[in-house]
Amino acid sequence: MTPAASLATTAAPRRWGEVVIEAFIRATGYSAILFVLLILIFLLREGLPALAEVPIGELFGARWYPIEDYFGLLPLIGGSLVVTIGATILAVPFGLATAVFIAEIAPRWARELLKPLVEVLAGLPSVVLGFLGMLVLAPAVRVLLGVPTGLSAVTGSLLLAAMIIPTLVSIAEDALDAVPVSYRHAALALGATKWQTIWRVTLPAARGGVLTAVMLGIGRAIGETMTVMMVTGNAARLPLGLDAFFRPVRTMTATIAAEMGEVANGSPHYHVLFTIGLVLFLFSFAVNLAASAVVFKQRKRAERLLS
């Protein structure tokens, strides 16, 4: 058998296998789009009837009291925003600083210890954190801040920050790690200090990954349910004014979780709960869209500079 013949006999079946694998990979890739579409269709099917059953003006009302058909969504949207914004403000500086420390500053042994530890934190069940928050953090917040009750947006934000920091650190650290070491060497060779290198070179170079980390963190914060249900007090009040952060709030996720179990199938309340799900979907869609738009813009700019 000549070498060419043997190649021909073995190459044909291999190509067949490759076709199957390629098709499989393509199918899994497209299935993500399919699943998102199916979820959207389901939410639209269950949520849109609410727009016919409840006057639109009422959905923008300030009172959420579904057992007597008051379906004002504003307190719930506001509650989710307050808790998520609070968590983001707390988590982003802390998480980025930790990522920079692990990637750029920590000695090798500390780095090898810190990274897995942070990732273990990311797996902490939210109900455990919620229970801790209810029994330990909420009383402490009430005493330390002198607010009427510790079951408030700030407690929820603190716990959510604790939940999203590990995600943020892990992804941001990976992004920083992926920045070629030659960038740092070049900066240092030009006389930049270590801090200038981190702030002006490494972080901007890793901006896409860092932004992804922040967006995933925000996405997790807005979607988190159990923890916020246990510690934010679930009072459906409109969070207006600066003190709203220190008052109880009711988030969209907690509302769905608390009420879905009891609601009569097909009732206006049931449809409105799905409308809330739709609003949540649109929020996380917008967050992700904004993130990829920024990353995409940067990539274009980088390509232009390099060409």
Partner 1 sequence: MRACRPLTGGLLALLLAAACGGTSVTPAPAPGSAVVVTNKGSDTMVNLALAWAEAYAVVAPEVTLSVTGGGSGTGIAALLNGTNDLANASRAISAEEQAAAEANGLKPTQFVVARDAIAIIVNPSNPVQALTLPQLSAMYTGALTNWAQVGGEDRPIVLLSRETNSGTHVYFLEHVLRLGDAKGPQFFSPDTLLLPSSEGISAEVRQNPNAIGYDGLGYVTADMKTLAVAGVEGGPFVLPSIASVNDGSYPIARDLYMYTAGPPSGALAAYLEWVLSPAAQQIVADLGFVPVK
Helix (H/G/I), strand (E/B), else coil: 307: coil
Q: How far is CA 140 from CA 44, 137, 184, in A?
A: 42, 5, 43
Using a 10 angstrom Cβ sphere, with 0-12 exposed, 13-18 middle and 19 or more buried, the burial of residue 244 is: buried
Binding to partner 1 in span 25-64, by CB under 8 A: 62-63
Among 47, 73, 75, 154, binds partner 1 (CB under 8 A): 75
Compute φ and ψ for 156, nearest 5 degrees: -60, -45
> What single letter denotes the amino acid at residue 68?
E
Q: 221: which residues sit within 8 A by CB, 6+ positions away?
A: 83, 84, 87, 88, 91, 160, 161, 163, 164
Helix (H/G/I), strand (E/B), else coil: 71: strand
Determine the interface stretch with partner 1 among 10-18, 22-30, 87-95, 244-252 (rule: CB under 8 A).
Answer: 244-252
Strand (E) or helix (H) holding 65: strand 64-65
Contact 244, 74 (CB under 8 A): no
Q: Is 78 in the site for partner 1 (CB under 8 A)?
A: no
Determine the interface stretch with partner 1 among 2-10, 25-33, 38-46, 242-250 (rule: CB under 8 A).
Answer: 242-250
Nearer to partner 1 among residue 208 and residue 248 (C-beta): 248
Report in angstroms how near the CB of residue 232 gets to partner 1 at its nearest: 9
- Interface characters, 138-167, with partner 1 (x: CB under 8 A): xx--x-----xxxx----------------
Nearer to partner 1 among residue 130 and residue 208 (C-beta): 130
Determine the interface stretch with partner 1 among 15-23, 99-107, 247-255, 297-305 (rule: CB under 8 A).
Answer: 247-255
Among 4, 189, 264, 306, binds partner 1 (CB under 8 A): 264
Determine the interface stretch with partner 1 among 20-28, 98-106, 162-170, 254-262 (rule: CB under 8 A).
Answer: 254-262
Distance CA 215, CA 212 (A): 5
Report in angstroms how near the CB of residue 245 gets to partner 1 at its nearest: 15
Tokens for 228?
Answer: 């916020």
Say how many residues touch partner 1, by CB under 8 A: 33
Q: What residues make contact with partner 1 under the rule CB under 8 A?
A: 62-63, 65-68, 75, 134-135, 138-139, 142, 148-151, 229-230, 233-238, 247-248, 250, 258-259, 261-262, 264-265
